[in-house]
Every structure is written in C-alpha cells, then in structure tokens.
Amino acid sequence: MPSGDADRSFMPFSLPWLNEKEIDAVVRCLEGGWLTTGPATAEFEKHLQAYLSAPSVVAVNSCTAALHIAYTASGIGPDDEIIMSPMTFCATANAAVHLGATPRFVDIEEDTENIDCERIPAAINAKTKIIVPVDFAGHPCRLDRIAEIARGNDLKIVEDAAHAIGSEYKEKKIGSFGWPTCFSFYPIKNMTTGEGGAIACADDLEFVARCRRLSLHGISKSGWSRYTEKGTWYYEVLEPGYKYNMTDIQAAIGIQQLKKLDEFIARRNHLASLYDQAFQDIPEIRCPVTRGNIHHARHLYVIQLVDLPRPLNRDRVIEQLREFHIGTTVNFIPLHLQPYYRDRYGFQPQDFPVATRVYQRSISLPLYPKMKDEDVLYVAEQLINIVKS
C-alpha cells in the first residue's frame, strides 16, 4: 500500500480561476446600486451572443433553470417523452420530470460517453418531443446525425451544453446552431458567475420573449424597465413563470470570465495533452478520445480503468489517490442507477450496459487552468504507480 506525502497540500478535482478583475467588477456593481437583472446582465448577454455567434442569448441563474425554461418554451408537457443519455447530471432529467414529462434514456458510446445516435431511432415513439444531446466533458455529440434524426421524426432539440461553452462542432461554436442550447456557470464549470446559466437560441422573437418571461414570474416586463426613471409601474402576469433571472452581480463576474475563457480552454487542452502523453503506454488507463471534427473545451478529463490487477478496482484507486492528496470525482453516476429514476421506472443496471460499465471504471482527474504542469505530472505519476502496484 503506497503511503501519501503528508507535506503536500490537497489538490482539488476542480477550482475556478478568479482574480482582481472579477473582484473589481463586483465592487463596481455594488457601488452602482443596481444589483439584480439590469445593464450588466444585458451586456453579458451581448458578449455571450458575440462569443458564441448565437442568434440570441437569455441569461438565467443556472443551467438547471435554462433547461427547465427551454423544455417549457419548446412545448414540453405531461406525458411527453424526452430522449437523453443517462450519463448526465440529474438536472437534465429532473427538469423534464418537473413538467410531468418522461426522460427516455438511450445508452452511450463507450469512447466519447455521448449518446449513441444509432440507438436513438428505436427510442422514438408517438410521445417523443425532443432529443437532448449532452456534450459530455465538453466533447460535442454527433450533432449532424442528431439533427437529421430530429428532422426525420419531427422532433426538437434542446442541447445540454453545461460542459461545452467554447467547444466547436465542425468549426461552429456550440450554441450557434439555432436550437436552444443551455450553458452552466457553476463554479467548477469552464467559466463561472458563482451560479448562473444561459440559453442560446434562434432569433425567434416569440421564443426569446417566452424564455425571458418564464425567467421572471411570467411577467411581461423586466424590473429594469419598471423601476428606473423611464420605467412605468404597470405590468402583466401572462403565465405562472419562475424566479430564474440572472443578477447583475453574477453578470459582472461573467463578463470578466468570458474574456478569459479561450485562455482557460487552451490551458485545459495543454494540461489534458500532458495526461495523454503520460498515459500513452499504460494499457490500464484509457484516455478520453477526441473526434477529428471538433474543438474540445475540456471541461473534464475522464479516464477509464481497464483490466486492473485484482483486488485493485476503481474505488480503491480513488482512495489511494486521496492518500496522495489528489481529489477526484466520478462523472457521472448514471441516472438509471439513481434511486428515484431506478425505482420510478424499474431500471436495472443492465438496461444501459455501456453507461453502467463505463461508470464502474471511470475517474475524473483534476483539470483546471490554475493547475501547474507539475501538478498534472504528479497526478499522472501517482496514478501510474497505483495501477502498476
């Protein structure tokens, strides 16, 4: 049993990168006195729209909110079915359940861990309304194929791009394809606003207006257009919406983070390539794959451990890495194994055999722009020692 280096400080699995730019921006926002949705949120939306080459952007307070609103504005209701992979965070499916809809899981590709497009047609029935590609770890799904299946079956697409801000598919940014695409600015995502999210969508005035309205109680006007000098007091509640609006404090952070995003992604790709090199001759460690037609935002670096010498297994490797002060996690525990989904729909692990198998052998290694090259080499060295021990 290897023993840890007691002097080394703990290396978390992920960390945001903030500095005086974000701090100053928040202070300016507080001094300006307008804290909730207002000019900074409008500016953040404009910058995001330009960065993504998206026709329209609506900022909200989480990706979970973005998914809930995008499903609702796409017309999802009770008894509808939503196709998604089980290899995702629970928000993708929970938002469907909140609308009375049923998440219909489709197994994944073993290498990218994205939805296996060739299994989608068999999951489509009269109740199916949308397909939700989840760009696992930032690697875009096979969007051309998904768009083709959606067209052929009269389905809509809502993309869960919580991992994929800055990713490209066939040289186009995720978020620029016109269908609603949901981003997350949770602290450990590729960029942060503390908590936050956004929907990029087509320049469809009605759809955009509906998303905005749903993000603020279903009210016809924003607070900014009611309480400022030129504002008027009258407003109408057009439907029972939610309290999902982004605040200017969040947007102030986001404006600064977005300026750094490409640098973050370049750094993530560099660090990932160091892992790739370190593991290239280690058959027990399978590195993540990158298809040729994409640019990878590298939100996660997920390895799959194969043919480990007994009694070593994934869980023991995680414990041993912790002894070396290395934090890891597992993305994700597939949703069909989670008690709520398992019990409600009667799932067995073998219903989605690829997701179950990949889950049992996966570890997400530390990857974030603040990491030094030596940190990656340290993690790689300890991991190689563990699997070779």
Ligand X SMILES: *Cc1c(COP(=O)(O)O)cnc(C)c1O
Residues 359, 330: contact at Cβ < 8 Å? yes
Q: Is residue 89 close enough to count as binding ligand X by CB under 6 A? A: yes
Q: Is residue 160 close enough to count as binding ligand X by CB under 6 A? A: yes
Mark the segment that binds ligand X (CB under 6 A) among 1-9, 56-64, 265-273, 373-381: 56-64
| Catalytic status, residue 189 | yes
Three-state SS across 257-284?
HHHHHHHHHHHHHHHHHHHHHHHCCCCC
Long-range interactions of 347-352: CB distance < 8 A, separation 24+ = 347/105, 351/105, 352/86, 352/105, 352/107, 352/108
CA-to-CA separations, 249 to 20, 44, 82, 199, in angstroms, rounded: 15, 11, 34, 19
Q: How many binding residues for ligand X (CB under 6 A)? A: 14
> Nearest 5 degrees, angle CA 289-CA 291-CA 295?
105
- By C-beta, is 17 or 224 nearer to ligand X? 17
Mark the segment that binds ligand X (CB under 6 A) among 57-65, 310-318, 339-347, 374-382: 57-65
Token pair for 279 = 């593991």
- By C-beta, is 177 or 244 nearer to ligand X? 244
> Nearest 5 degrees, angle CA 148-CA 92-CA 177?
35
Residues 244, 218: contact at Cβ < 8 Å? no
Residues 231, 91: contact at Cβ < 8 Å? no
Q: Is residue 134 close enough to count as binding ligand X by CB under 6 A? A: yes
Residues 58, 215: contact at Cβ < 8 Å? yes
Mark the segment that binds ligand X (CB under 6 A) among 31-39, 159-167, 286-294, 370-378: 159-167
- By C-beta, is 73 or 95 nearer to ligand X? 95
Mark the segment that binds ligand X (CB under 6 A) among 43-51, 85-93, 229-237, 344-352: 85-93
Q: Which residue in 41, 72, 88, 304 binds ligand X (CB under 6 A)? A: 88
Which of 127, 172, 189, 372 is the catalytic position?
189
Least distance from ligand X to the Cβ atom of residue 17, Å? 18
Q: Is residue 92 close enough to count as binding ligand X by CB under 6 A? A: yes
- By C-beta, is 117 or 158 nearer to ligand X? 158
Which residue type is seen at 74? Answer: S
Q: How far apart (Å, rounded) are the C-alpha atoms in residues 123 and 175? A: 25
Least distance from ligand X to the Cβ atom of residue 31, Å? 27
Please list every residue from 172 through 211 that binds ligand X, using CB under 6 A.
184, 186, 197
Least distance from ligand X to the Cβ atom of residue 351, Å? 20
Least distance from ligand X to the Cβ atom of residue 62, Å? 3
Q: Is residue 105 close enough to count as binding ligand X by CB under 6 A? A: no
Mark the segment that binds ligand X (CB under 6 A) among 6-14, 158-166, 238-246, 374-382: 158-166
- By C-beta, is 113 or 284 nearer to ligand X? 113
Token pair for 184 = 């997350």
Least distance from ligand X to the Cβ atom of residue 93, Å? 10
DSSP string, 38-84: SHHHHHHHHHHHHHHT-SEEEEES-HHHHHHHHHHHTT--TT-EEEE
Q: Which residue in 36, 37, 62, 114 binds ligand X (CB under 6 A)? A: 62
- By C-beta, is 62 or 128 nearer to ligand X? 62
CA-to-CA separations, 44 to 41, 165, 223, in angstroms, rounded: 5, 14, 17
Q: φ, ψ for residue 201 (rounded to 5)? A: -155, 180
Token pair for 240 = 């029972």
Least distance from ligand X to the Cβ atom of residue 22, Å? 18
Count of beta carbons in the 10 Å neighbourhood of residue 339? 7
- By C-beta, is 179 or 186 nearer to ligand X? 186
| Residues designated as active site | 189
Q: List residues binding ligand X (CB under 6 A).
A: 62-64, 88-89, 91-92, 134, 160, 162-163, 184, 186, 197
